[in-house]
Chain A
Amino acid sequence: MKYKLFSNSHSLFVWAAVLLFLLAGSATAAIDGISGTGTGTPADPVTFDLTVKMNAISTADGGSVVFWGYADTSVPPSNANRPQYPGPTLIVEQGQTVEIILTNELELLTGATPNVSIVFPGQQVTATGGVSGLLTREAQTTDVPGTPEDESLVTYTFIATNPGTYMYHSGTRPELQVEMGLLGALIVRPAGFNPLNPTAYGPGTEYDREFLFLLSEMDPLIHETVFAYGPDAPELMETDALSDYFSKYWFMNGRTAPDNMGNAGESAGSLLLYQPYNSLPRMHPGERMLMRVIGGNREMHPFHHHGNHARVIARDGRLLDTGTGGPLAPGEDPDLSFEVFTINSVPGETVDAIFEWTGKGLNWDVYGVSDDPQFATDPPLPHDCTDLVDNETGVAPPDGYGDPGTDTPWEYCADHLKMFPTLLPQKLDLAFGGWYGGSPFLGSMGALPPGEGGLNPNGGFSYMWHSHTEKELTNFDIFPGGMLTMLIIEGWNVDID
């Protein structure tokens, strides 16, 4: 059974990696990706070199799944020319001319090597080179001697006309090749993007932090069959594996939980060299988090974000207002955004949502009351809730939230000094989770029995963000795992960057 190669030791390793990562406090607030070479003019397009190769990814149950991935083979490469799942996140700017040069270095054990390609839903793409395919031009593995074109190389060119979140994926037998791993994210930043004051779509879409949630799934049976028999074999095509699909692994940014909560990049360890991206959202109260959610493969994964609603502001890279969206009411510009706590994540669709959290409505002081006798042995942080100005404008009148630069920015002052509403049981009577820091208060820690806690070293509030198709919280039937991560709300005393 190849799924059991590493099981327990690997799992422990990953949880340890999560711990180290959090202790180091080295998260990046931006989305990992590559921005190509070139200035983006038609004469000097932003250029990416992608090459399709085969390798194997790891799953957190100790499994290993053969996959086909896009490798960044630009000079210098971002991930040592390795194929990766998902493919490199391409980050460009609105208005730039973008060029992706695709080559095909698939080497199969058996069966004819297929052509590969890329399609870019939402973009108007010109494809040159390669050979004609059903949806776009495709790259063979070899150039045909004596023909003027290079059949082994396709160039896709488009102008990134609109900002937003998009994806790219294989346009060659997508039901097989996207499943095999040929997919990735494309992010188009608005023209004149300023990383110090970022927006998703220009004014009105400001955010403080952004995270990518590229959700996908796999049926390892398909991968094993392709590996053993080839992609056209009756062992695959005469079953219902592709027509009546049944997934068994679920990924966020290409990793199953808890691997997705480990470090990004090579520091995640040698088992995740082909899965360089992680998924661990962290934020301070009051910050605006931009969630870029992509339905990557072929199934819906209702993405449930605990902690608060999120406001969906765009879909398929278009703002949900009629400023760009509607011809129906000239001169009007209604806001068509809406709030949800579950994002459908429809296959192929992208969603941008703004998530905020302040603790408003909990009806107790999230930073704790320092003289609460219940917590005499682990007293929470003494703090004031100072509210003189509106946090958005910086001037009076006050808005009900702690001001920037005070003890607790964005604390909901109406709940300040409200006691914790229940008596906690004695610690001997409690069962702990790894994310409990010993104190129910933001930014505070408390004593824990030996061996408990540790995944939340800053005393943040952690909320599970996950697929609400609950079976997807597993790795090949083993709970917990799959499509889940933790949002960590960190106290303002914790430096996230």
Chain B
Amino acid sequence: MKKTILMHAMLPVLAIICAVLVASPSVAQVFELAAVETQWLPPGGTADVDEIRMWGFIEDTGSCPAPGSPWTPGPVLRPTDGSLTINLRNCLSVPVSIMIPGQVATGTPEPLTGRVQSFTTETDPFPATGIYIWTGLNAGTFIYHSGTNPGRQVPMGLYGAIIVDNAPGEAYPDPAAGAAFAYNNEALLLYSEIDPALNNDPDTLEVARPLTYSPKYFLINGQPFDAPASPVPAGFPGARTLIRFANIGLKSYMPLILNGPYMKVIAEDGHPYPYAKEQYMVNLAPGKTMDALWDPTAQGNFPIFDRSHHLVSGASSEGGMLALLQVSCPGDFDGDLDVDGTDLELYGDIFGPGVVPALDVFSLNFGSICQ
């Protein structure tokens, strides 16, 4: 069966999970993706002049779109029944594929002829389609990306995040400590970068190659900071936010939160730690994902910036890998369950109708801050 794909690069609240969950019988969930020619206009760039050529994963509409739509990272995939099928339509003139480090794909690799350039079975160039299947999904934050010539296809933009929850509002199974991996809200921060010289000449090896890779744009969720940028919704005071870090760039980044409470880092590469570690920053190597619980106590925008200082965008300063985590009160919350059109109804609006979250949100301290 075909599922609706979440197009948000960042997920404000968990609501979306459960919209999917509720309608979901336990069969493998099928996501329809296409690999397409897109382009990305840097902040301050001139349209039709400064676009950078990109390849991207988008939700498939049944046919290949005209090249040139704006690039974003691929849609966030949230399979909820432990398995995942991706039908991939290849609209590019080169073979592509999809792999998910940390998840086990099924199927038999096809014998390859010629020079091997892929970690997994390739989908032939346009107009071919391919099928990729994973079962027994591990809970956690993961990245899906092209497994074909990844030194070129990943910088071209063929990547996205995949999130697998143990249960609605609970990141990982934790038999020892009960609700320790539960959360109320989440924020996804996907780090990557763009080298215009490589992307604008992807078909020849004459000028730009991985050998001379020198990125100029440093992105969080597909965008560099560009004041006044939209902040990343990151929950409300007194509630627990799960920050999901993922780095599909080729460099290491060190996101650091200023002025907020410490993070409690609970997992790395989709594997939970036995005990959390308190840190104000994380060291995010290429391909790495990390999960951190964060308990903001006040409203505000909290800067999170790359401490290895990739804070320029092209020739502009005050750009790059800076985002603002926005902590704000949820509507006119009054803590009751009435559906009166204005109040937030916690179970219904955040976790989906009929879904009981793993963490009792009513035990949280919204009161003094948000009322």
Contact = CB atoms under 8 A, between A and B. Distances in A.
A318 interface: yes
A429 interface: no
A135 B275 contact: no
Contacts of B305: 135, 174
Contact of B258 (A121, A232, A234, A318): A121
Interface string A318-351: 1010101111111000101000000010111100
A340 to B, nearest CB: 14
B309 A316 contact: no
Contacts of A315: 277, 279
Contacts of A324: 278
A320 B275 CA distance: 10
A297 B254 CA distance: 12
B275 A134 contact: no
- Centre residue among A244, A327, A329, A349 by max chain B CB count within 10 A: A327
B277 A320 contact: yes
Contact of A316 (B252, B278, B293): B278
Given A237-B317, A299-B308, A346 B258 contact: no
Nearest to A178: B309
A325 B278 contact: yes
Contacts of B312: 175, 237, 242-243
Contacts of A320: 277
Interface in A232-247: 232, 234, 237-238, 240, 242-245
Contacts of A307: none
Contacts of B281: 121, 316, 346, 348-349
A327 B307 CA distance: 26
Interface string A291-331: 00000011110000000000000011010101011111110
Nearest to A300: B252
B107 interface: no
Given A237-B316, A298-B308, A329-B275, A344 B216 contact: no
Contacts of B259: 123-125, 136
A329 B275 CA distance: 7
A327 B276 contact: yes
Interface residues of B, number: 41
Nearest to A321: B275
A164 to B, nearest CB: 11
B143 to A, nearest CB: 21
Contact of A134 (B177, B180, B322): B322
A328 B274 contact: yes
B288 interface: no
B278 A346 contact: no
A46 B309 CA distance: 30
Nearest to B298: A124
A175 B256 contact: no
Contact of B283 (A119, A121, A135, A349): A349
B199 to A, nearest CB: 15
B110 to A, nearest CB: 39
- Centre residue among A176, A179, A234 by max chain B CB count within 10 A: A176
B277 A348 contact: no
A349 B276 contact: no
Contacts of A297: 309
A286 interface: no
Interface in B310-346: 310-312, 315-318, 320, 322
A171 interface: yes
B227 interface: yes
A346 B310 contact: no
A174 B174 contact: no
Contacts of B303: 134-135
Contacts of A330: 177
Interface string B103-132: 000000000000000000000000000000
Contact of B315 (A179, A237, A334): A237
A253 B17 CA distance: 49
Contacts of B216: 240, 243
9 contacts: A134-B318, A175-B309, A178-B309, A237-B316, A318-B278, A322-B275, A326-B275, A326-B276, A349-B281
Given A121-B307, A326-B277, A328-B174, 13 more contacts: A121-B256, A121-B281, A134-B227, A134-B303, A136-B259, A175-B312, A234-B315, A242-B317, A318-B278, A328-B176, A346-B307, A349-B279, A349-B307
Interface of A: 119, 121-125, 134-136, 171, 173-176, 178-179, 232, 234, 237-238, 240, 242-245, 297-300, 315-316, 318, 320, 322, 324-330, 334, 336, 344, 346-349
